Amino acid sequence: MHSQTGVEIPGITANPRVVDVVQPLIDRVQDLIREKNVSYDEWHQAIHFMMDLANSGEMPLLMDVFFEATVDAVASAASASSTTAIEGPYYVPGAPMLEPPCVMPQRPDEPGEPLVFSGTVKTPDGKPIVGALLDVWHSDATVPGTYSNIHPGQPAFNLRGRLQTDEQGRFELRTIRPAPYRIPDQGPTGRLLNALGRHSWRPAHVHVKLTADGYQPLTTQLYFQGDGFLDSDVASAVKDDLILALEPAGSNGGSHLTLRYDFQLAPTNH
Ligand code: DHB
Ligand code: FE
């Protein structure tokens, strides 16, 4: 039997949730060490790996790659809002507030195909939500894409912006099409993926955090049809109904791609 469970010791206050979740985690690792005959050498390698991970600052990255999609699945199971997805490690609060016509902050020579992202925010029964706040962020169009405020080379808050829905619950944002993203492959997370025989790519995506007074907040990502990494996302975060068509559109101002999505927000439970 496993040690320590259920013993009451004066002066020690067990946290029932920790007993419920972390004790089985420890038990399972112990079982695995026995089952796989883990050696002292491998055990020391595991310790060094975790120290490298902590020192590299990649702890949030590794947690997101391997576990956030599962946390998202649990968190969103009972929600009447539209489909959620992981936040990932690269959200930065405080992005510039944009006013219509909304244009994403970008360099004067920002590479990438022009993209117009538009849609609506409504209640589950179809009423427009006025003044809903969309916080949008995505990588640039270099391959692999990089994120401002995280990777060097872009001005602060490049390709990050906030905008609100209008009187009909509509929004429109002019930006550029992001590239597929590769998580750093030189650090401990990349080395582990390599040792697992897995690549470190995510399909191109647009992140959205959506909030509105009286409604449950929503975090999601939108993906593009035809992307080569949809079926092998390193973060396992793609959901079918978040894969959208990029439709070409033209106007006398030049051609662009359009990305359309209609969000639903469920009211807050009182
Ligand atoms: C992860 C998610 C992202 O959206 C991203 O851009 C990079 C990494 C992740 O889950 O690790
Ligand atoms: Fe991302």
pTM for this predicted structure = 0.91
CA of 64 to the centre of ligand 1 (A): 7
Determine the residue of 146, 202, 230 to mutate for testing ligand 1's pocket, defined as the one with the most ligand atoms within 8 A of the Cβ atom.
202
**Ligand 1 atom closest to Cα of 145?**
6
Categorize the per-residue pLDDT at 6 as very low, low, confident or very high, splitting at 50, 70 and 90: low
Give the pLDDT mean for 115-126. 97
Nearest CA to ligand 1 atom 11: 65
Please say whether the beta carbons of 168 and 139 come within 8 A. no
Specify the pLDDT at position 10.
85
Nearest CA to ligand 1 atom 4: 88
Give the pLDDT mean for 230-255. 91
Nearest CA to ligand 1 atom 1: 88
Instruction: Look up residue 226 and give its two tokens.
Output: 């035809």
CA of 90 to the centre of ligand 2 (A): 6
Specify the pLDDT at position 4.
56
Specify the pLDDT at position 184.
87
Average pLDDT in the chain: 94
Specify the pLDDT at position 1.
46
Closest by CA to 88, choosing from 225, 247, 223, 261, is 223
| Ligand 1 lining (C-beta closer than 6 Å) | 61, 64-65, 68, 86, 88-90, 181, 183, 202, 235
**Ligand 1 atom closest to Cα of 207?**
4
Nearest CA to ligand 1 atom 8: 88
Q: pLDDT tens digit string along 51-101?
A: 999 999 999 999 999 999 999 999 988 888 999 999 999 999 999 999 999
CA of 117 to the centre of ligand 1 (A): 21
Closest by CA to 117, choosing from 224, 227, 252, 231, is 224
CA distances from 165 to 138, 140, 158 (A): 19, 24, 21
Specify the pLDDT at position 53.
97
Give the pLDDT mean for 3-27. 86
Determine the residue of 63, 87, 90, 236 to mutate for testing ligand 1's pocket, defined as the one with the most ligand atoms within 8 A of the Cβ atom.
90
Torsion of CA 14, 20, 21, 27, to 10 degrees: 90
Please say whether the beta carbons of 263 and 119 come within 8 A. yes
Give the pLDDT mean for 118-145. 97
Categorize the per-residue pLDDT at 43 as very low, low, confident or very high, splitting at 50, 70 and 90: very high
Residue 257 to residue 191: CA distance in whole angstroms = 36
Residue 139 to residue 89: CA distance in whole angstroms = 12
Q: pLDDT tens digit string along 140-160?
A: 999 999 999 999 999 999 999
% of the chain surpassing 90 pLDDT: 89
Give the pLDDT mean for 219-239. 97
**Ligand 1 atom closest to Cα of 235?**
10
Listed in sequence order, the residues at least 6 apart from 69 whose beta carbon sits closer than 8 Å to its beta carbon are 85, 86, 235, 236, 237
CA of 238 to the centre of ligand 2 (A): 12
pLDDT at 2 over 90: no
Residues with CB under 5 A from ligand 2 (ion): 88
Burial class (CB in 10 A: 0-12, 13-18, 19+), 139: buried
Nearest CA to ligand 1 atom 5: 88
Q: pLDDT tens digit string along 101-112?
A: 999 999 999 999
